[in-house]
Copies of this chain bind each other. A is one copy, B any other.
Amino acid sequence: MAETIIPKATAKRLPLYYRYLTFLANAGTTKVSSTELSEAVKVDSATIRRDFSYFGALGKRGYGYDVKDLITFFKKILNQDRLTNVALVGVGNLGHALLNYNFRQANNIRISAGFDLNPDIAGTIQSGVPIYPMADMVEQLKEQQIEIVILTVPTDAAQDITDGLVKAGIKGIMNFTPLRISVPSYVRVQNVDLATELQTLIYFLEHYGPTLKDAEADKAQ
């Protein structure tokens, strides 16, 4: 909040940079240039330099960036230095998959509670995560002070459940339903719409040629 405001487009790339940097560190690499980074994450090198520059001078001219320094810096910025608990609302097919998706290892994020209507699941522990009945959702979220949820419920139920989440004091929702849910201004929604994404891919295939940038990359090979 205190820092100068970072463009959204930049913010979206930060986790990507962070992941690749940790990969480099694990491989024993100590320095990296914007050009190398660019090839790995497929973002123009000038964009990377600009992105980093919003945070001040992190690199050394003529040398590059120190991997460890960058990691230390981004770890803090991205809240990776402390565990973030999130809840999973709706433990169906996709929900189950997300329980097994290792957010924790790479990102210090843990799904610490799940909620589902299904009485066969509610009350059990799935992939190490306790699943509570939907009726207890608001209460449990408040008690566990969870501020972020992953919403993987049937579309029909999405808005009602969202209203409950808002009552429970949730601040952020990762919305896997195709419904664009309504929330008050202080709640942030990140939509992940799988069918739309696939449709968009198909549309691009049919209506756009190869990108110029890629065409150049091609030539270079």
Could you tell me which A residues sit within 8 Å of B by CB distance? 1, 3, 5-6, 8, 11-12, 14-16, 18-19, 40-42, 77-79, 84, 86, 93-94, 96-98, 100-101, 103, 106-107, 109, 147-148, 150, 171-172, 174, 178, 180, 184-186, 188, 190, 192-211, 214-215, 217-218, 221
Contacts and interface: CB of A to CB of B under 8 A. Distances in A.
A1 B207 contact: yes
A65 B180 CA distance: 21
Contacts of A211: 185
A79 B192 contact: no
A107 B198 contact: yes
Contacts of A97: 93-94, 96-97
B201 A190 contact: yes
Contact of A197 (B40, B94, B192): B192
